[in-house]
Amino acid sequence: MADDYLLDVLEQRVYFALKKIADQQNRINTLAHEKKELEQSLSMHKIEIDRLKRELQKAESSTDAAVVLRYQ
């Protein structure tokens, strides 16, 4: 009788442990997916920042050249 009770308790604990492991694995998968999306977004933002920097440098160069020509 006591053995049956102990086996039931052990079985219940194993079940809860497996459920917790499955829940944690789902959470890991969700976080990994979110991380991948954020890394892609970051990459796109970096590309856009680089493009804007180049555009700004080009505009500054054009402005500098125009100012020099005006005062020559």
**Cβ neighbours of residue 8 closer than 8 Å, sequence gap 6 or more:** none
- Give CA–CA dist 8/14, Å, rounded: 10
For residue 60, name the pLDDT band (cuts at 50, 70, 90).
Answer: confident
Tens digit of each residue's pLDDT (9 = 90 or more) over 22-52: 999 999 999 999 999 999 999 999 999 999 9
Model's pTM, two decimal places?
Answer: 0.67
- Distance in angstroms (rounded) separating the CA atoms of residues 43 and 49: 10
37 vs 43: CA distance, rounded Å: 10
pLDDT 10s digits, 3-23: 899 999 999 999 999 999 999
